Structure 1
Amino acid sequence: MSTPAPDPAAVPPPGCPAHRLYGPEAEADPMGLYEKLRAEYGSVAPVLVQGDLPAWLVLGHRENLDVARTPSRFSRDPRRWRDMQEGNVPAGHPLTPVAAWQPVCNFQDGHEHERLRAAVTDSLERFDRRGIRRYVMRFANQLIDGFVQTGRADLVTDFAEPLPMLVMTQLVGMPDSYGPRLVEAARDMIKGTETAVASNAYVTEALEQVVDRKRVAPGRDFTSWLLEHSASLTEAEIIEHLRLVLIAAFETTANLIANTLRLVLTDRRFRANLSGGHMTLPDALEQVLWDEPPLTTILGRWATGDTELGGRHIRAGDMLLLGLAAGNSDPEIRPDPTVPVHGNRSHLAFSGGPHECPGQDIGRAIADTGIDGLLSRLPDLELAVDESELRWNSSLMSRHLVALPVTFTPRGATVTAASRLPRPAAAPQAAAPVGRQTAPVPLRPARRSWWARLLGR
């Protein structure tokens, strides 16, 4: 049976601003744009990405799972992208770093994907979860010691962003001294600044050095296990997968930590639930994964042939974006998004199917353990600005909390100066917290907070 021809009305005209996934409207209120598209088009909407290139944004929960779980129809290999084949995506295009083919498992299908994916998952599964949590507590305490005596901090730049990278450098097998500089480089790469290319070169050089060292002196770390895996990865494949794990863990886990901390500091509904013992910290993390997934969309999938999805005609080579945040708010599965979701992990935060995030348990462990440690040491954390003053930066794939300034009772550090984190060689000066400036916080007796009651401390 032949597949119906594409419906011309389903494809937006070039330059149509109403359907752009970039620009002021998308950056100011991405969720509002998703709902606008859902009301107009249903579960699959025609959109434009950077350069006014056409794509399909999958908005429905069921449709997202359909795309993620059927690689025979929707491939992860970007070499199928028709616009790329026709020369419409130049080398310097903003999407090239995330859409150009690389020798990594998430850009492969079939046997090659299984070979590379097995090396990653087998190596990740060798970690002792208790050992990971010890790393998290070690670095969390060192980060907290950096600001605990001041009575104020920005929990994004001082805690949520550096913690995942510092832990992952240990899991990869890098010395402690690499951590702070890799945090700066990863942040620079993701923001796409003028120095992003240089930062990318630094990350590559650092990974090449660690691979060289582990060939000579292997250890109990991710790099060594990739080197010895029966999949026989090439050096290029090892380096690219190390980069993938480092950057993905940094981006997603930093967002998860920041979003969860914002929730517990601002949402009275959850504050009451937590203090009453009706919701644990892992429950709060899952709620954030529903409401504010670390990645709002995933780019991309490419149709292997003409097909249909959500009533739309998809042509071979069309690009699709998995709408993780939009799918999580699909009215068909969440008629009332204000109702808390307890014990339900059917969200799309980690995608699904054969390309589901292999490191999600490690990400959860870093976030859960790090936040628990922070709130245990600083139980009287309070937001230093009005909630309305918080700001976000949005991009095609994610939404970042810019800053989360807090105040608390100043306390003493718990580690010696010799064991504190090394500083990067040329670290930029820390920016002032977003929002109104506050006077120095006077010393006062520490209060027993709702977090202390929850944790039994």
Structure 2
Amino acid sequence: MTPEPLSPTGTDDPVAVPPPGCPAHGAGPGGLRRLYGPDAEDLGAVYEKLRAEHGAVAPALLHEDVPIWVVLGHSENMHMLRTPSQYSRDTRLWTPLQDGTVKPDHPLMPHIAWQPICCHAEGDEHLRLRGAVTGAMSTIDHRGVRRHINRATQHLVNRFCGEGRADLVGQFAEHLPMAVMCEILGMPEEYNDRIVQAARDMLKGSETAIASNAYIMNALTRLATRRRAEPKDDFTSHLLNHPAGLNDEEISQHLRVVLIAAYEATVNLLANVLRVVLTDPRFRAQLNGGQMTVPQAVEQSLWDEPPFSTILGYFAKQDTELAGQRIHKGDGLLLGIAPGNVDPRVRPDLKANMQGNRSHLAFSGGPHECPGQDIGRAIADVGVDALLIRLPDVQLACEEHELRWQASISNRHLVELPVKFAPKPQQDVMQRPSINPMPPQRSNNWQVSAPQSQPPAWEPAAETPVAAAEPARRPGVFRRVLRWWRGN
């Protein structure tokens, strides 16, 4: 999941840019580098140029040449995150917003506009709102969630395992997080292709984004109404009944941000991990050989390709100084997750293995650190592990350079990840993943029973009963630990 439920920075809307050859290309006003347009197609390279020119904190320009500070240093980002007395998440403090430089139709306005959510609050109000979110999350049964992730993964793989080909972005990474989050929120019946499409569409800023947002808000409003009338043991019910007493608008906005921010971040995380497994032979060999576990692979990805590369933003509450730069009251700062993760003072050798080191910035830090990061990790850990067990021979179905990306200031995500493998049979979604699923056990000859109907493909099949005459063998210590780890 993302740093504390929030709206991701950036937009995929096409932005008007000067024609080729126009003097407006290159540096903007004051010679500052732009973080948008054709000169910022590779933002990673732009950040390194800024680091070389200005150090750990650099001036730059957002869309429509709005000034912004980019925090590039790891320690400088952590200082900003951990000093709420100097830096706030309240967008209303931003000078360009107060003086009208940022107009209502600014491309980033959907992500800048203040909302009654914990990531925009501070002080007692932040404690109240965040306390409700973290309180509701504390009730989540993490072992139960891991079991659901496994079942959802089996269900998704069953959809394409017989074809021998798939797109692991469109058919897997974009679906698994939504299936899991709908279960956690308490609306598993809302999970379908339509809600996945709506979530992707509203984040792209397309012409139908408003309608897609309305679709999701309608589902969340119905959910809140049902749970007020009939509470259950799910995130929404606990959020509604928390002593903080969130009002209807606060409930709906937090449900939306928890769902969408967690969804977007985990989609990117899944796609990034799978891409590295498929394109880096050394990485895959370490997984296959046991030198690296899937959780360690996920953590490495959070260092190398965090789901969100930057977050807008933090805002100076007073005149201050950061890395030698004079920051004025009302200035905006980008949380530089990706550039901070590759700060040469922290990672002088980018090829060095970061196993066991969780000091990356992928989940933010300080008062606004992601409260649900363990759920995001679990979706990636269990989902990737189960998929690779089901499809051990999966290979990339194109050349690596043919992979297409969609980039914005906030992130860079794969458009598709085509793969091929030997066709596999479907598997009971209630079983642990297996390369060769065990056939159902036959009843003893003396047992007589009526034939049982098969459940629909979208419903979990019942576990196969074990014959009464065959006492179950107690699994070994290793298998018991493995079952516990996978949530079985």
TM-score w.r.t. the length of structure 2 is: 0.82
| Aligned partner (choices 23, 44, 54) of residue 31 of structure 1 | 44
Residue 413 of structure 1: how far off its partner (Å): 1.5
Partner of 1:343 in structure 2?
Answer: 356
Instruction: Using the TM superposition, name which of 214-223 and 18-27 deviates more.
Output: 18-27
Letter matched to residue 420 of structure 1: W
Letter matched to residue 412 of structure 1: P
Residue 61 of structure 1: how far off its partner (Å): 0.1
Residue 247 of structure 1: how far off its partner (Å): 0.5
The whole-number CA distance in structure 1 between the counterparts of 2:75 and 2:83 is 12
| Aligned partner (choices 414, 418, 426) of residue 456 of structure 2 | 418
Letter matched to residue 26 of structure 1: A
| CA deviation string 1:397-434 (max 9, x = no partner) | 11111111000010122256713289xxxxxxxxxxxx
The whole-number CA distance in structure 1 between the counterparts of 2:153 and 2:358 is 26
The whole-number CA distance in structure 1 between the counterparts of 2:334 and 2:201 is 24
| Aligned partner (choices 312, 325, 329) of residue 316 of structure 1 | 329
**Are residues 231 and 70 of structure 1, via their aligned partners in 2, closer, same or farther at CA, if it must alter by over 3 Å?**
same
Equivalent residue runs for 1:49-448 within 5 Å: 49-415=62-428, 418-420=456-458
Aligned residues: CA RMSD: 1.7
**Are residues 37 and 421 of structure 1, via their aligned partners in 2, closer, same or farther at CA, if it must alter by over 3 Å?**
farther
| CA deviation string 1:231-282 (max 9, x = no partner) | 0000100110100110111110010000000111111221222232211111
Q: Does the 8 Å CA contact 1:176/1:421 hold for their aligned counterparts?
A: no
Residue 17 of structure 1: how far off its partner (Å): 7.6
Q: Does the 8 Å CA contact 2:32/2:59 hold for their aligned counterparts?
A: no
The whole-number CA distance in structure 1 between the counterparts of 2:289 and 2:216 is 45
**Are residues 40 and 421 of structure 1, via their aligned partners in 2, closer, same or farther at CA, if it must alter by over 3 Å?**
farther
The whole-number CA distance in structure 2 between the counterparts of 1:187 and 1:417 is 30
Letter matched to residue 23 of structure 1: G
Instruction: Report SS of the residue matched to 1:36.
Output: helix
Instruction: Report SS of the residue matched to 2:196.
Output: helix
**Are residues 16 and 140 of structure 1, via their aligned partners in 2, closer, same or farther at CA, if it must alter by over 3 Å?**
farther
Question: How much identity, in percent, do the aligned residues show?
Answer: 57
| CA deviation string 1:333-364 (max 9, x = no partner) | 10010111110000000011000111100000
Q: Does the 8 Å CA contact 2:27/2:34 hold for their aligned counterparts?
A: no
Letter matched to residue 126 of structure 1: T
- Uncovered stretches (5+) of structure 2, i.e. residues with no partner: 1-25, 429-453, 461-485
Residue 33 of structure 1: how far off its partner (Å): 1.1
The whole-number CA distance in structure 2 between the counterparts of 1:367 and 1:351 is 18
The whole-number CA distance in structure 2 between the counterparts of 1:66 and 1:90 is 30
Letter matched to residue 288 of structure 2: S
Instruction: Report SS of the residue matched to 1:176.
Output: helix
Q: Does the 8 Å CA contact 2:28/2:34 hold for their aligned counterparts?
A: no
The whole-number CA distance in structure 1 between the counterparts of 2:172 and 2:37 is 29
Asked if 1:21 is matched to 2:35, the reply is: yes
Instruction: Report SS of the residue matched to 1:55.
Output: strand
Q: Does the 8 Å CA contact 1:304/1:317 hold for their aligned counterparts?
A: yes
The whole-number CA distance in structure 2 between the counterparts of 1:16 and 1:162 is 45
Letter matched to residue 254 of structure 1: V
The whole-number CA distance in structure 2 between the counterparts of 1:417 and 1:255 is 33
Instruction: Report SS of the residue matched to 1:146.
Output: helix
Q: Does the 8 Å CA contact 2:32/2:61 hold for their aligned counterparts?
A: no
| CA deviation string 1:264-318 (max 9, x = no partner) | 1111221222232211111110100000000000110000011111111111101
Residue 202 of structure 1: how far off its partner (Å): 1.1
The whole-number CA distance in structure 1 between the counterparts of 2:117 and 2:284 is 42
Instruction: Using the TM superposition, name which of 54-63 and 138-147 deviates more.
Output: 138-147
Which of structures 1 and 2 has the bigger CA Rg?
2
The whole-number CA distance in structure 2 between the counterparts of 1:202 and 1:255 is 22
Q: Does the 8 Å CA contact 1:58/1:320 hold for their aligned counterparts?
A: yes
Letter matched to residue 105 of structure 1: C
